[in-house]
Amino acid sequence: MIERLILIRHGETVDNVRGVAQGWSDSELSQQGQEQVDRVAQRLGAIGVGSLWSSTLPRAIATAEKIGRSIGLEPRLLDDLREMNCGDWEGLSFPELRRGDPETYRRWLSDPRQPCPGGESYHDVLVRMERALETIRAELDGHPSPVVIVSHGTAIRVLATSLLGVPLAAARNFAQDNAAVNAFERRADRWVLRVWNDTTHCGGPELE
């Protein structure tokens, strides 16, 4: 049983700054991204964490390793926690995607089962993120444990729809910034969202 689940998006990358689709390709953390990771690691260092899991993409691993040093845990890697595979769209900016194949892009925006050309759909990501959570539950062997997962923007937003029992299409309406903290707690048979897209540790805005 997972009683508390904390989802962390990786720090800002060079490609995030460029505004291009990364997917399964990768770029290194920017200088700001490295500072963001230092701050989120410090924040999590004050929390009792039972296990730490990460996507296998380098930007997530770099984030998870810093967190791991702060909380004294080695991150465990799962392929299923990776970002959506953007296929032929990787390395392109979103204006380029809209201009290059507007009809496919429109369908991708409106239909969670429409894949990126040569890549995945939101539904594909949902299936493996749910599978990742089941893998983690099984590894905990029934013992309650606060769990930290380091993943990616789309992957986190998609998993949130599953945890909250809302339509998958709603994932597009959730903001998810670099190095954001998202916290869920288990209450009986349901998940309750306690914190979403919190970047106050990085100097982000506080809610009033």
Q: What is the CA radius of gyration of the chain?
A: 16
In which residue are the tokens 């299936």 written?
127
CB 30 within 8 A of CB 12: yes
Q: Does 130 qualify as catalytic in the annotation?
A: no
Q: Does 83 qualify as catalytic in the annotation?
A: yes
CB 153 within 8 A of CB 82: no
Give the strand pairing for 51-55 and 147-151: parallel
Report the distance separating Cα 113 and Cα 104, nearest Å.
Answer: 12
* Positive or negative torsion for Cα 12, 139, 69, 185: positive
Active-site residue identified among 12, 83, 90, 120: 83
DSSP states along 132-175: HHHHHHHHHTT----EEEEE-HHHHHHHHHHHHT--GGGGGG--
Active-site residue identified among 10, 12, 90, 152: 10
What residues act catalytically?
Answer: 10, 83
